[in-house]
Amino acid sequence: MPRLTPMDIFNKDFKQSIRGYDVQEVNEFLDIVIRDFEELIEENKQLKEQLKKEKQLASQRKFQGDESQDALIQDILHRLERLERMMKTFEGGQGAAQQMHRSYDPTIR
């Protein structure tokens, strides 16, 4: 069933009967319904546009967030690699220092 439009409401004709409603009163009420319906349609349209814009902004923020997270992860990895190299250098230097110590003091193992 297609959606009801303000024009559908405006063009709707009702059969008249002997004990029917006051036609003028019904028409006045339908005019109010049409006006409110048009306002709701416009508001719905604006909200859909706003939602579309917000979704676009959110996806841009997510993309930018992903880039900054990638940069942060890369920075952390570089720091870890540098720390590992420093530890290897330190451990290698410690081993050399112990060997030098042993050569001077045979009681050190």
pLDDT range class, residue 105, cuts 50, 70, 90: low
Q: How many angstroms separate the CA atoms of 66 and 52, rounded? A: 21
- Residue 46 is given by DSSP the state H
> What pLDDT does residue 84 have?
81
Q: Output the pLDDT for position 13.
A: 82
Question: Residue range 8-22: average pLDDT?
Answer: 82
Mind listing the pLDDT tens digit for each residue in 16-51?
A: 777 788 888 888 989 999 999 999 999 999 999 999
- Round the average pLDDT of the chain to a whole number and report it: 79
| DSSP per-residue letters across 7-45 | HHHHH------TT---HHHHHHHHHHHHHHHHHHHHHHH
Largest Cα separation within the chain, whole Å, is 126
- Domain ranges for the chain, please list them: 6-11+21-104
What is the average per-residue pLDDT within 50-75? 80
pTM: 0.49
- Residue 40 near residue 47, CB atoms below 8 Å: no
